[in-house]
Amino acid sequence: MRSAAAFLLIPALFAQAPVEPKDLRWRAEAHLAQPAEFAVIEVRREIYARSESEFNDLRIYGPDGAELGWHLEPLARRQSEERSQFISFGELRDVVVTPAGALRFTLTVTAPLTPHHAIQLQIHEKCDEFQRRILVETSQDGRTWDAAARGGIFRSRSSYQNFSVTRIGYPPATRRFMRVTVDDWTDPAALTGVEVFGNRAPQVEWDTLGRVERPERLSEEDLASTGPRKAALWEVRFDYPFLESARVSVETETPRFARNVSVQTSADGQYWADSGSALLYRVLESEHLTIPASRLHPRRVRLRSVPGADAPLEIGAVRLEAPVRRILFPARTAGQYTFYLGRTDTRIPDYDLPAVLARSGTLEPAPVALGEWIANPDYVPPPEPEKPVSERFPWLLPSVLALAVVGMGSAAWQLLRKAG
């Protein structure tokens, strides 16, 4: 019977005490003029800066002072998984070389009802290195053409690393016909096919959390795989807590380059973990300067660039960006709503709101604008953890050791006297 009672007490030992407004450091208010089934606030820089438990510390109280459940909408797709769905190979027609030495062909999209937004050229491996400008046009009837995108494709091979970008994006379109012109290409046989991409997930809006100009460049480290070449390292710091999803954007004046750049992060400055990597490049009229990152500790971030055959990469600034997310909560009463943030090691209460929303179908929550975040006047700091006995009584351990030595010495003297 006693063992059963002890077993029932185990969950209570690990249960967290309810978090109250006095336990949270920050407070903001919002006024709702008209009641609504649900309301929504946006998670931007101000909330990212004040949450200390990945939003687990958020508490919302209604006009009557009762705590409300809330739901953080998941991202439509993680940034590292933002890949478009492949539709099909387009049907190539009228492949010609223009008098100006450009390769031109038309493309019939086989799934015109699906918005498509990117094509990727499949180019034979015999094409060693190239940099070519590309123009993409669309048409409804195959006769009248409108420019959709201009950019560049390239392939670079060296003893250090190989890079290839043969994809170009354009605004989502449903037009069936496309015309593509690639400058400085006189060998049609090198083009082996074209892929069309569509069904892109909704675009994610990103909010800039911080920007560091002229980041500190650390001493270069050796790379065993590249002989005398060295990797470049930069370190930046942003005053934000842990981020589950983010991205790092680079600003550079380097005119032409292609580099694999990785993001490393550390919570303690000792152990560094990879948070993401990407091919950054600027070639002709195309560039890509963002690195998707996950599980990031912004207070210690390093960028690591592998060597390349072109000019060294010079970074002028680094930006930390986070996705703008939405938090839904019931708002059936007009009046003042109060929001609290700012506590570590906190868990979200077991709200039933996510299950309710899953059954609600299409929602149109009322947008709510938060006022300024201020220090919570009712905040009571948690008591400082009690110091261990060795710190509270620093003289205790030396005294015990001294007494032990004296006791052992006395016992040894008594034994020697008896033996003598």
In a domain, 419, yes or no: no
The predicted-structure confidence for 191-226, as pLDDT tens digits, reads as follows: 988 888 886 666 789 999 999 999 988 866 554 444
The residue ranking higher by pLDDT, 343 or 388, is: 343
The predicted-structure confidence for 274-306, as pLDDT tens digits, reads as follows: 999 999 999 888 899 999 999 999 999 999 987
The per-residue pLDDT of the chain, averaged, comes to: 83
3-class secondary structure, 92: strand
Strands 130-139 and 146-156: antiparallel
Domain span at 308: 206-323
For residues 255-271, give the mean pLDDT. Answer: 90
Instruction: Say whether both 210 and 316 belong to one domain.
Output: yes
Please state, as a whole number, how many other Cβ atoms lie within 10 Å of the Cβ of residue 7: 9
CA-only gyration radius of the chain, Å: 31
Burial 363-400 (b: 16+ CB within 10 A, else e): eebeebeeeebeebeebeeeeeeeeeeeeeeeeeeeee
pLDDT of residue 79: 39
In a domain, 260, yes or no: yes
Question: Is residue 26 predicted with pLDDT exceeding 90?
Answer: yes
Instruction: Say whether both 313 and 343 belong to one domain.
Output: no
Strands 36-43 and 366-367: parallel
Instruction: Say whether both 171 and 109 belong to one domain.
Output: yes
Instruction: Say whether both 238 and 273 belong to one domain.
Output: yes
pLDDT of residue 293: 95
The predicted-structure confidence for 230-241, as pLDDT tens digits, reads as follows: 778 999 999 999
Distance, in Å, from the CA atom of 393 to the CA atom of 91, rounded to the nearest integer, reads: 83
Instruction: Say whether both 360 and 264 belong to one domain.
Output: no
Instruction: Say whether both 89 and 194 belong to one domain.
Output: yes
In a domain, 100, yes or no: yes
Give the least confident one: 136-145, 179-188, 236-245, 405-414. 405-414
In a domain, 8, yes or no: no
Instruction: Say whether both 245 and 290 belong to one domain.
Output: yes
Instruction: Say whether both 300 and 338 belong to one domain.
Output: no
The predicted-structure confidence for 102-131, as pLDDT tens digits, reads as follows: 999 998 887 666 788 889 998 988 777 888
CATH code, 97: 2.60.120.260
In a domain, 389, yes or no: no
Q: Which residue has the tokens 């109060």?
A: 338
Domain count of the chain?
Answer: 3
Q: Which residue has the tokens 């409108």?
A: 146
Q: Which two tokens stand for residue 416?
A: 């020697």
Q: Is the distance from CB of 323 to CB of 271 less than 8 angstroms? A: no
Instruction: Say whether both 98 and 69 belong to one domain.
Output: no
Distance, in Å, from the CA atom of 359 to the CA atom of 71, rounded to the nearest integer, reads: 14
pLDDT of residue 294: 92
Please state, as a whole number, how many other Cβ atoms lie within 10 Å of the Cβ of residue 262: 17
Element (H, E) at 97: strand 91-97
Question: Is residue 51 predicted with pLDDT exceeding 70?
Answer: yes
Distances (CA, A) of 362 to 62, 84, 359: 24, 25, 9
Instruction: Say whether both 164 and 67 belong to one domain.
Output: no
For residues 146-168, give the mean pLDDT. Answer: 84
The predicted-structure confidence for 346-363, as pLDDT tens digits, reads as follows: 888 778 777 777 777 677
Q: How many residues comprise the chain?
A: 420
Instruction: Say whether both 302 and 276 belong to one domain.
Output: yes
pLDDT of residue 225: 46
pTM of the model: 0.78
Beta strands in 140-272 (DSSP E): 146-156, 163-165, 167-173, 177-182, 191-198, 206-213, 216-217, 221-222, 230-236, 243-252, 257-265
Distance, in Å, from the CA atom of 64 to the CA atom of 13, rounded to the nearest integer, reads: 32
